[in-house]
A = this chain, B = another copy of it.
Amino acid sequence: MAQGIIRLRASICAWATAVGRKESEGPLGSCFDLKDPTDKFGQKTWEAAESEMQRRALALAIGRRELKPEEIDMLFAGDLLNQCVASAYGLLEYPIPYCGIYGACSTSAEGILLAGMAVTSGIATWASAVTSSHNCAAERQYRTPIEYGAQRSPTAQWTVTGAGAFLIGKAEEEGVPVTRGMIGIPQDSGVKDAANMGGAMAIAAANTLKRFFRESETAPWDYDRIITGDLGYEGGAILCDLLKADGIDIQKQYSDCGQLIYDRQRQDVHSGGSGCGCAAVTLGGYLLPRLWDGVEKRILFLPTGALMSPDSIKQGRTIPAVAHLVELEQRKPRQEEE
């Protein structure tokens, strides 16, 4: 059916995460693979550090499945630096066909969806999705260099320093099955405040979720968790309200990676975490292990992305947003191929 649910036969078979200090000190700190208290990962610039997190995360994910880079058919990667340079430089050493993607903070789901489609169709045997964000690189590109000490508004979020890499293989492989997906239709929030991303993106998550429930004939109680990427406290509350107005109550199942990754009181993050890395490392560090271990049976993961730029905001434009969805199930062991 046009524009509808994408049926996938793929599994997330390995993954890895890399994070900075603040993330390693948060409630999920013990869940992450690679940590650097300096946030620099041995590099001279924040941008190079972001690239290095991607490089190391992908190396670890590939190594965990005991594959060689040459066995990966394609790589879907993107980030929020101008011209997606964190991915371009970070993954340059890998001799893997490379598709750059741009989904802002929804990049992790877009990459997993496209990798899942490539594997489902048989075009790829192994595909990978990688993304990242870095607080200091994001601050100076989007707002002001951190050294300026600019004051943050109550709805502002804290860009996560982190990268996640995901290795997607056939449904027969041992892994967390990716069973369905839905590509988001961009929504114009009408919001012009770049310090209220959650408010701008909630409408996109509501749109994708409503479409998914309608077309799949499922409901919130069919899922253990419905989890957005970085709506934070502000956007998360708006999403629940928007859906409630349409008779859909997700309160029981709902959580948001931007709420989970930091301790709101102790870590001074205002409305929660954000950035491409936020959803990616929470998925890799926290959600996938729970699906692997069977703690959760079935979740909907739908990170949102705000599709504006600092220039478009200066030119008075509103903030469009998109939310891509993937349905994940508890681990299946390796099956013999038919």
By a beta-carbon cutoff of 8 Å, the part of chain A in contact with chain B is 2-3, 6, 45, 47-48, 70-74, 78, 80-85, 88-89, 91-92, 95-104, 110, 113-114, 117-118, 120-123, 125-126, 141, 182-186, 188, 305, 307-312, 315, 317, 320, 322
Contact B312 A85 (CB under 8 A): yes
* A96 to B88 alpha-carbon distance, docked (Å): 28
Contact B309 A97 (CB under 8 A): no
Counting chain B CB atoms within 10 Å of each CB, the highest count among A80, A82, A320 belongs to: A82
Interface CB pairs A-B, < 8 A, 25: A2-B71, A2-B73, A3-B72, A3-B96, A74-B183, A78-B100, A81-B311, A82-B310, A84-B102, A84-B307, A85-B312, A88-B186, A88-B320, A89-B317, A97-B184, A98-B322, A99-B101, A99-B103, A99-B110, A99-B114, A100-B104, A102-B102, A117-B121, A120-B121, A121-B122
Which chain B positions have C-beta within 8 A of A121? 117, 120-123
Contact A98 B2 (CB under 8 A): no
* A210 to B17 alpha-carbon distance, docked (Å): 35
Which chain B positions have C-beta within 8 A of A89? 307, 312, 317, 320
Contact B92 A186 (CB under 8 A): yes
Say how far A110's CB is from chain B's closest CB, in angstroms.
6
* A308 to B89 alpha-carbon distance, docked (Å): 8
Counting chain B CB atoms within 10 Å of each CB, the highest count among A95, A96, A102, A308 belongs to: A102
Chain B residue nearest in CB terms to A310:
B82
Chain B residue nearest in CB terms to A69:
B3
Contact B315 A47 (CB under 8 A): yes
Which chain B positions have C-beta within 8 A of A74? 3, 183
Contact B97 A307 (CB under 8 A): no
